[in-house]
Structure 1
């Protein structure tokens, strides 16, 4: 992440509110992640929520590629001056049209995911159209949107822990079986060694 991209005024990445700071951190990290060339080095995600966001965005692309095909047509008339207003308008339309907050029992984590993923798609479009200079503004824009619209609701749902639980990398069954086998073998080996040492002492 380029330090020159950081928001000023003690807000955003510099906020004293951890919930807000993570919201901006995820925005900056995710846009850097989707814009990073495959052969380029990208540092590990800066926090667990950002790591879950990277993973969930990749999963969404694999499972629902149709989600990504419509946005180039939507963004075709965007300019550097209209990118952020258009992103905010789309987010208001899609996120605001979900179940009203006072009727929700659970946090709409999929909607939260879509906010960041949509911002990533606009960033990709702008870069491909020679408007990479607007990307820092998009980072700030989506961070501010999450701070204003989503963070108040996050406070009532344990912060980002639910997002991490929902979208974080899950250990697959094969990995679990290997771990069980490893510990079983280790315990068995320890037991055998202990038995032989005990038997040798008895002799």
Structure 2
């Protein structure tokens, strides 16, 4: 009798997709917490997620804790980076640079949460400064960062 353990691990593509969904949920929570909303030009604001995944709930809770420990670090992120949120490429480059720097000495779950907290802070800045479409650029940038820098690490840990 042969025993087959058929555990299915998420594919690279699924890990990136999940990261983008988590990012969207995280940014949505941060923007709405500030009493703001955003949408693509000509579109309705996104609906709140019907039901948050367990990973999203943990990420949001850890993000709250991190932001309580360093409240000024995750507010006015664009100003701290000395960038204008009107330029999507500039926001993307700055976000990717910060994310790369955060992981420069190794990857931990805490550092991954910090990257999401930066994304959330930037999203709030974009909406406040009337450039809500740039929020989607942040989501795209985080997805690309995960694809290039986090997928093997996530796979070794069974995913999100």
State TM-score, norm by structure 2.
0.73
Which residue in the other structure is 1:132 paired with?
132
Which residue in the other structure is 1:87 paired with?
95
Q: Could you list the per-position Cα deviations for residues 153-182 of structure 1 after superposition, in whole angstroms to 9, with x for gaps in the alignment?
A: 11112222xxxxxxxxxxxxxxxxxxxxxx
- Return the alpha-carbon distance in structure 2 between the equivalents of residues 46 and 16 of structure 1: 21
Which residue in the other structure is 1:59 paired with?
65
Task: Determine which structure has greater relative contact order: mean sequence separation of CA pairs < 8 Å that are 6+ residues apart, divided by chain length.
Answer: 2
- Return the alpha-carbon distance in structure 2 between the equivalents of residues 65 and 30 of structure 1: 16
- Return the alpha-carbon distance in structure 2 between the equivalents of residues 133 and 70 of structure 1: 18
Higher helix share: 1
- Return the alpha-carbon distance in structure 2 between the equivalents of residues 38 and 72 of structure 1: 16
Change (3 A) 1:111 1:121: same
- Return the alpha-carbon distance in structure 2 between the equivalents of residues 89 and 62 of structure 1: 24
Instruction: Note the aligned Cα RMSD (angstroms).
Output: 2.5
Which one of the candidate residues 16, 31, 55 is aligned to 2:27?
Answer: 31
User: Which entry has the higher C-alpha Rg, 1 or 2?
Assistant: 1
3-state SS of 1:56 partner: helix
Q: Which runs of 5+ in 2 are unaligned?
A: 1-10, 38-46
3-state SS of 2:133 partner: helix
- Return the alpha-carbon distance in structure 1 between the equivalents of residues 87 and 51 of structure 2: 28
Question: Bigger shift: 20-29 or 113-122?
Answer: 20-29
Query: How many pairs were matched up?
Result: 138
Give the 5 Å matches for 1:1-203: 17-37=13-33, 42-43=48-49, 45-69=51-75, 71-78=77-84, 79-81=86-88, 82-95=90-103, 97-99=104-106, 108-160=108-160
Which residue in the other structure is 1:187 paired with?
none
Q: Which runs of 5+ in 1 are unaligned?
A: 1-14, 100-106, 161-203
- Return the alpha-carbon distance in structure 2 between the equivalents of residues 149 and 60 of structure 1: 22
3-state SS of 1:132 partner: coil
Following TM superposition, the consecutive aligned residue runs of length 4 or more in structure 1 with deviations greater than 4 angstroms are 37-41
Change (3 A) 1:89 1:108: same
Shift of 1:146: 1.4
